[in-house]
């Protein structure tokens, strides 16, 4: 019998959107004007920016702009082809060498985004006969790369190396290769992975490890090399990936590791082979950013000072909340990402709006991105002490508020 078909094959979209709205999960974009920085303009209003990944304040830096402009004048706006065909420029190799230098690895490869770096690398390294063990709070690009690879994927509890060990003990032997995936700095929490313990397990169980340094590169470690350096794991056998689009103020992703690994990826990573090479402008800006990361450690120091100040301030204001405070705990953090738990998704959205009316721009993060709603604050080296005072003042008023439920139904 022929099935009875609905008249409109796209009709389900409206129904789906209604469901998303009802759950307070609907998202939309917010245009910002002007250069990125600690203060941005939205709808003509200046906002102190606590929602950017531009941790070192480099995305608007005149030196990166000048490098990008010079590259455009020399090489044009597009790279015109994939790296293996017509899209390879001397600038790409220069950037890859600089990344390998920073990371202390034999080589590196740049992708068009961090997302593509994860998807391409994971799908190249493992397949149906293999096992992936993945921290439950990993970034979506790791999760989706794992799914696409066709490997068996098991999540382990966040940061829980006992659980990871149990899974390795139970399952490792049934598979050919095994790959552990973890963020170094978890993007929606701000805490670090227990990398030394993970590497010890990896050695014991003959397992590869890919660590995502998207929020570590340029920020953590004595030379700004990232969480791997900060956690004393430089030089260990490891696949380090990251992005050029956060602390490095540009666009693109990379993988750093052994010469064999990088050569293999050039031959097997589809998201590198079948896509256009990074633009000359993005490549040159990232190169300039890496020089600044190395020559201006004071930026990292200032960022660390801001982390101390804000952490102490948040802990003071969360210590004795009013009974009506919408805030729960502060999430443990070792990074410029600081999050405060908020009772539910509609409250966190209302809070974001209220803070915006006071000239503060924060992220409201909700399910399904995270299990519990939270206000997410990211710090920049270029914030001033006054910016932090303003934020703490506004959050203290919220924590002491009498009218939270009425004002934020
Ligand atoms: C941002 C991010 C990525 C993706 O990087 P893009 O260059 O923006 O595609 C990957 N992993 C983590 C943990 C991230 O935060």
> Alpha-carbon distance 179 to 265, whole Å?
15
Q: Determine the distance separating the centroid of ligand 1 and the alpha carbon of 117, expressed in angstroms.
A: 9
Q: Determine the distance separating the centroid of ligand 1 and the alpha carbon of 57, expressed in angstroms.
A: 18
| Tokens, residue 81 | 């082809």
Quick one: which of 307, 297, 394, 383 has its CA closest to 353? 394
Q: Determine the distance separating the centroid of ligand 1 and the alpha carbon of 196, expressed in angstroms.
A: 23
Burial group, residue 353, by CB count within 10 angstroms (0-12, 13-18, 19+): exposed
Q: Determine the distance separating the centroid of ligand 1 and the alpha carbon of 235, expressed in angstroms.
A: 23
Q: Is the C-alpha dihedral spanning 160, 139, 29, 387 positive or negative?
A: positive
Amino acid 401: pLDDT: 76
Quick one: which of 273, 283, 282, 277 has its CA closest to 88? 277
pLDDT single digits (tens) 62-96 = 999 999 999 999 999 999 999 999 999 999 999 99
| Average pLDDT score, the chain | 95
Binding site membership of 214 for ligand 1 (Cβ less than 6 Å): yes
Binding site membership of 115 for ligand 1 (Cβ less than 6 Å): yes
Amino acid 1: pLDDT: 65
Q: Determine the distance separating the centroid of ligand 1 and the alpha carbon of 245, expressed in angstroms.
A: 8
Amino acid 408: pLDDT: 44
Overall size of the chain counted in residues: 409
Q: Using CA positions, which residue lies closest to atom 2 of ligand 1? A: 214
Q: Which residues of the chain have pLDDT under 50?
A: 404-409
Binding site membership of 217 for ligand 1 (Cβ less than 6 Å): no
Q: Using CA positions, which residue lies closest to atom 7 of ligand 1? A: 114
Amino acid 403: pLDDT: 53
Binding site membership of 250 for ligand 1 (Cβ less than 6 Å): no
Amino acid 404: pLDDT: 47
Are 239 and 257 in contact, with CB atoms under 8 Å apart? yes
């Amino acid at each position: 019998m022929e099935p009875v078909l609905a008249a409109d094959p796209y009709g389900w979209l409206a129904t789906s959107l209604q469901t998303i709205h009802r759950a307070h999960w609907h998202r939309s974009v917010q245009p910002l004007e002007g250069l990125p920085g600690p203060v941005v303009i939205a709808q003509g209003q200046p906002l102190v920016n606590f929602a950017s990944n531009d941790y070192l304040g480099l995305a608007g830096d005149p030196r990166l702009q000048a490098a990008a402009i010079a590259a455009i004048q020399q090489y044009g706006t597009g790279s015109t082809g994939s790296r293996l065909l017509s899209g390879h420029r001397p600038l790409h190799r220069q950037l890859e060498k600089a990344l390998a230098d920073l990371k202390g690895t034999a080589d590196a490869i740049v992708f068009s985004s961090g997302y593509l770096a994860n998807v391409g690398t994971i799908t190249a390294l493992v397949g149906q006969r293999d096992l992936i063990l993945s921290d439950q709070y990993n970034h979506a690009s790791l999760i989706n790369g794992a799914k696409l690879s066709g490997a068996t994927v098991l999540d382990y509890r966040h940061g829980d190396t006992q659980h990871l060990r149990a899974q390795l003990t139970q399952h490792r032997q049934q598979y050919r290769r095994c790959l552990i995936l973890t963020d170094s700095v978890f993007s929606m929490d701000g805490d670090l992975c227990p990398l030394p313990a993970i590497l010890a397990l990896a050695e014991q169980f003959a397992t590869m490890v890919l660590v995502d340094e998207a929020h570590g590169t340029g920020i953590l470690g004595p030379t700004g090399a990232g969480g791997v350096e900060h956690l004393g794991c430089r030089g260990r056998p490891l696949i380090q990936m990251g992005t050029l689009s956060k602390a490095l103020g540009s666009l693109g992703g990379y993988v750093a590791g052994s010469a064999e690994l990088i050569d293999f990826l050039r031959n097997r990573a589809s998201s590198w082979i079948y896509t256009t090479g990074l633009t000359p402008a993005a490549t040159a800006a990232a190169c300039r950013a890496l020089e600044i990361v190395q020559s201006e450690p004071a930026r990292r120091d200032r960022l660390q000072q801001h982390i101390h100040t804000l952490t102490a301030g948040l802990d003071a204001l969360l210590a004795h909340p009013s009974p009506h405070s919408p805030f729960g705990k502060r999430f443990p953090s070792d990074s410029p990402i600081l999050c405060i738990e908020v009772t539910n998704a509609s409250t966190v959205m209302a809070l974001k709006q209220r803070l915006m009316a006071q000239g503060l721009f924060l992220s409201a993060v909700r399910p399904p991105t995270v299990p519990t709603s939270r206000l997410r604050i990211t710090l920049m080296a270029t914030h001033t002490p006054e910016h932090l005072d303003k934020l703490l003042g506004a959050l203290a008023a919220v924590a002491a508020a009498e009218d939270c439920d009425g004002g934020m139904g």
